[in-house]
């Protein structure tokens, strides 16, 4: 089982790599995906790169125009109290490298993950590329064989070989500075064929090009793996709606992968500002849902998994996603049952970082009555005006039973910093390993 670590979580959320260990989460995680790496137009094509910049004054989420956060990745010097092993990051002395000019020590999140892996040698750490805000160039980068080769080579150069831009201001990075941090690459293209951010490139050949892009990453990862005597992992995060799955070739692209992280959440939420309220990560379809029609009938975990299985994906390559947050509305009518379900709303519920979304650690103690739907197997909380749909330990266990029943590979979470004290949901998810 695994989880995503959000690069920007070290700021407003104050969730550090150290917290993965101190919370007790690390002992349950077989992999952690670091979100996110970006790609840019460069050298006549598209490449992975890390933009160096000064320490941001405030950042709770990635922004499309910022490009990246080299400070969080490898330039920030963690103090002894912030560090996994109690040893502060060293300023170090810059040294001359004939290939890059200068290089300094590794710092930031990357160095903390290297230390975390040393304490938990069974854990794999992967760089996740793209995400909701940084999938702008995937369609163009995947459009031709030459461009696919260029992208894969550059991403391997930065994240597998560890060749980071040297940042003089922080005296960090340089050639091979991050070697050994990442054990593979997770492609989070949201989404082939469209449906992501409005500025994303979309190509009519995205379906086939997605398969070919993954095959190219697999080929190049295998080549460097043969040199290093190591198998480098390749995974993807995919949209779980029926329309998203139909825009890809699951049976073909899965041949290049170690596994598929199914983003089986965000089925409904506050972007549907006036409702009706509905579930955001339900295991099964409730036929009584007002959204249970057309493509909306595929907005449940089971429909996504069955579509992948029917598409030719081996069950051993399917990993079910579990959100550590809820989606919500306020100004919600009680309805005939008094529980707020499937009722109109006035707007998105207020959240700690953005409207309509809230971490499990907050929702757990929020006012209201918690209920679980007998058909959909989703929990929700309603206090008479505000409605939140989210996973509880009980509904997580329902999903674990489903994974076992269908012989799937396992589960993962988005994102680790939303968990409650003591890694409550992560520990429940860890029961899948027993």
Q: Cα–Cα distance between 261 and 248 in angstroms, integer? A: 14
**Which of 47-61, 80-94, 180-194 is predicted with the least confidence, judged by mean pLDDT?**
47-61
Strands of 105-223 (E only): list them: 124-130, 164-167, 172-174, 184-188
> Looking at the chain, how many residues does it have?
434
Q: If pLDDT is split at 50, 70 and 90, which confidence band does 374 have? A: very high
Residues whose CB falls within 8 Å of the CB of residue 197, separated by 6 or more in sequence, listed in order = 64, 132, 133, 135, 136, 190
pLDDT digits (tens, 9 = 90+) for 270-308: 899 999 999 999 999 999 999 999 999 999 999 999 999
pLDDT of 58 reads: 34
Average pLDDT over residues 312-335: 98
pLDDT of 51 reads: 75
Average pLDDT over residues 196-206: 97
Please give the share of the chain, as a percent, with pLDDT higher than 90: 88
pLDDT of 93 reads: 56
The residues carrying an active-site annotation are 190
Contact 321, 265 (CB under 8 A): yes
**Which of 90-94, 107-111, 248-252 is predicted with the least confidence, judged by mean pLDDT?**
90-94
Is pLDDT of 234 > 60? yes
pLDDT of 171 reads: 87
Please give the share of the chain, as a percent, with pLDDT higher than 70: 94
223 versus 169: the higher-pLDDT residue is 223
pLDDT of 434 reads: 76
Q: At what angle do helices 145-155 and 206-228 cross, to 10 degrees?
A: 40
Is pLDDT of 20 > 60? yes
pTM: 0.95
Contact 409, 316 (CB under 8 A): yes
Q: If pLDDT is split at 50, 70 and 90, which confidence band does 381 have? A: very high
Contact 105, 92 (CB under 8 A): yes
Most confident listed range (67-81, 96-110, 329-343): 329-343
pLDDT of 433 reads: 81
Average pLDDT over residues 379-386: 98
Q: If pLDDT is split at 50, 70 and 90, which confidence band does 59 have? A: very low
pLDDT of 385 reads: 98
Angle at alpha carbon of residue 266, lines to 245 and 71, rounded to 5°: 100
The token pair at 310 is 């029917």
Residues whose CB falls within 8 Å of the CB of residue 144, separated by 6 or more in sequence, listed in order = none
pLDDT of 68 reads: 80
Helix (H) or strand (E) holding 178: none
Q: Cα–Cα distance between 192 and 134 in angstroms, integer? A: 13
Q: Cα–Cα distance between 313 and 123 in angstroms, integer? A: 25
- The mean of the pLDDT values for the chain is 93
Contact 350, 331 (CB under 8 A): no
Q: If pLDDT is split at 50, 70 and 90, which confidence band does 257 have? A: very high
Q: What domains are there in the chain, each with its CATH number?
A: 2-323+392-433 (3.20.20.80)
Q: If pLDDT is split at 50, 70 and 90, which confidence band does 57 have? A: very low
Contact 151, 48 (CB under 8 A): yes
Contact 134, 205 (CB under 8 A): no
Q: Cα–Cα distance between 172 and 106 in angstroms, integer? A: 6
The token pair at 264 is 């089986």
pLDDT of 341 reads: 98
Within 10 A of 142 (CB to CB), how many other CB atoms are there? Answer: 27
Residue 60: alpha-carbon gap to chain centroid: 15
Average pLDDT over residues 48-58: 58
């Amino acid at each position: 089982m695994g989880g995503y670590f959000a690069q920007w979580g070290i700021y407003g959320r104050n969730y550090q790599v150290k917290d993965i260990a101190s919370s007790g989460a690390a002992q349950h995680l077989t992999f952690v995906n670091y979100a996110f790496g970006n790609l840019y137009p460069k050298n006549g094509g598209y490449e992975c790169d890390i933009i160096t910049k000064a320490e941001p004054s405030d950042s709770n989420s990635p922004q499309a125009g910022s490009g990246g956060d080299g400070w969080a990745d490898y330039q920030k010097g963690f103090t002894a109290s912030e560090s996994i092993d109690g040893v502060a990051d060293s300023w170090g002395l810059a040294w001359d490298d004939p290939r890059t000019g200068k290089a300094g020590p590794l710092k930031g999140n990357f160095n903390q993950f290297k230390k975390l892996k040393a304490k938990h040698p069974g854990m794999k750490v992967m760089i996740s590329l793209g995400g909701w805000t940084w999938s702008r160039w995937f369609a163009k980068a995947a459009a031709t064989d030459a461009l696919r080769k260029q992208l894969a080579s550059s991403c391997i150069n930065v994240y597998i070989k560890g060749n980071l831009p040297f940042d003089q201001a922080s005296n960090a990075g340089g050639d091979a500075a991050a070697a050994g941090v990442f054990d593979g690459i997770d492609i989070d293209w949201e989404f082939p064929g469209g449906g992501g951010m409005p500025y994303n490139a979309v190509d009519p050949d995205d379906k086939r090009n997605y398969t070919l892009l993954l095959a190219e990453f697999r080929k190049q990862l295998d080549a460097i793996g043969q040199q290093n005597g190591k198998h480098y992992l390749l995974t993807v995060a995919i949209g779980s709606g029926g329309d998203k799955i139909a825009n890809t070739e699951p049976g073909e692209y899965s041949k290049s992968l170690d596994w598929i992280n199914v983003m089986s959440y965000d089925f409904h939420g506050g972007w549907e500002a006036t409702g009706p309220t509905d579930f955001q990560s339900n295991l099964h379809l409730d036929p009584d849902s007002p959204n249970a029609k057309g493509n909306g009938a595929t907005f449940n975990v089971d429909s996504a998994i069955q579509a992948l299985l029917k598409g030719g994906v081996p069950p051993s390559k399917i990993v079910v996603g579990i959100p550590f947050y809820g989606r919500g509305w306020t100004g919600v009518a009680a309805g005939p049952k008094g529980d707020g379900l499937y009722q109109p709303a006035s707007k998105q519920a207020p959240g700690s970082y953005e409207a309509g979304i809230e971490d499990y650690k907050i929702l757990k103690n929020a006012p209201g009555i918690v209920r679980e739907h007998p058909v959909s197997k989703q929990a929700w909380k309603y206090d008479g005006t505000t409605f939140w749909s989210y996973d509880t330990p009980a509904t997580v266990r329902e999903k674990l039973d489903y994974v076992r029943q269908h012989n799937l590979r396992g589960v993962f979470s988005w994102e680790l910093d939303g968990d409650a004290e003591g890694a409550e949901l992560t520990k429940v998810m860890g029961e899948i390993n027993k």
